[in-house]
Structure 1
Amino acid sequence: MTHGQDIETLFVAAHTLSRLAALETANETPSAQWRTLTILRDHGPLRVGELARLSRVTQPGMTRLTGQMVEQGLLTRATDAADSRATVLAVTPLGLEALQTWLLHLTSALAPHFADLTEQEWDALRTTAQVLTRNLARATASAEVAR
């Protein structure tokens, strides 16, 4: 198998895992909400346009979603310190708690699918996750600098 095929297999497996997670949790919350909370947790406060770009949704769609999330108390809006005409969105403690609760529920729902792994396989998954996290963080930072 080539390195390209390995990346493809990993990518397809990640999508399959995401779909399985959605089915197993039967969560009615749109995945865009969890993605938005995660992005704001990881990047800090952002303008709607930047949040939409990172989430790969339209700005009007993100405006609608974040408006609902502000109403639910998951996000706050504040004036952008760099430009008082603009606003930034930030995740609230309630939003972080909701995200953490969902991640625990997700982990619990998926755990049975990994119950038969050996310690060596767990080590391989742990290493893979660490490599992905490191490389994707670096790639994301490079993409943001180039922008």
Structure 2
Amino acid sequence: MQTESGASPGSQLLPVLSGLVDLLRQLQGPEQPSSVALTVLRLLAERGPGRVTDLARLARVSQPGMTQLVGRMEKAGLVRRVADPGDGRAVLVELTAAGREQRARTFAYHAATLDTLFERLDPRDSDVITQALPALIRLVDAGHAERPGHSPSGGEL
């Protein structure tokens, strides 16, 4: 499928999404965690406790790198390690109340930044973007449905 410009919708959307992701990664807010730490907080909030190996795979980082990150996050009180009830030899990482609060603060900061950017737009542009949100959500859901082992509704990692 191609648009009037001859480019596919995916090739037009990708640079825009990449720019938005870059913008969010570059935001410097209060106690701003790294983008990978934010991914870990999101995964644990949405899916529940998980193993370091699963977090590393889903965040697309090495297992040693994830182990180090989880250690730093644990020292900061954002996560804790708990015994896996299904396997006494394994350990799970779970979100703490402080981790939930950090995620909420970061989300609020990012949302406020985006709201400020929306205010700079022509109201028609803001309306068009807002009207496109349900379709973008369906696009994300369609992508999740294509990935085996992924549950958009959450659940264990």
Which band: TM-score by shorter chain?
A: 0.7 to 0.9
Q: For this pair of structures, how many residues does the alignment match?
A: 142
8 A Cα contact 2:49 2:95, kept in partner: yes
Q: Secondary structure at the residue paired with 2:92?
A: strand
Q: Secondary structure at the residue paired with 1:57?
A: coil
Indicate whether 1:81 and 2:85 are aligned.
yes
> Identity percentage over the alignment?
27
Q: CA deviation at 1:76?
A: 1.1
Structure 2 match to 1:122: 130
| Structure 2 spans left out of the alignment, 5+ residues | 152-157
Structure 2 match to 1:68: 72
Indicate whether 1:139 and 2:146 are aligned.
yes
8 A Cα contact 2:79 2:96, kept in partner: yes
CA RMSD of aligned residues (A): 2.1
Q: Which has the higher contact order (CA 8 A, sep 6+)?
A: 2
Structure 2 match to 1:31: 35
Change (3 A) 1:102 1:77: same
| Structure 1 spans left out of the alignment, 5+ residues | none
Structure 1 match to 2:155: none
Q: Matches of 1:81 and 1:121 in 2, distance apart?
A: 44
8 A Cα contact 1:73 1:92, kept in partner: yes
Higher relative helix content: 1
Q: Matches of 1:133 and 1:77 in 2, distance apart?
A: 30
TM-score of the superposition, structure 1-length normalised?
Answer: 0.85
8 A Cα contact 2:144 2:150, kept in partner: no
Q: Matches of 1:127 and 1:66 in 2, distance apart?
A: 34
Deviations 1:91-133 (A, max 9, x none): 1111011001101101111223222243344212x22332133
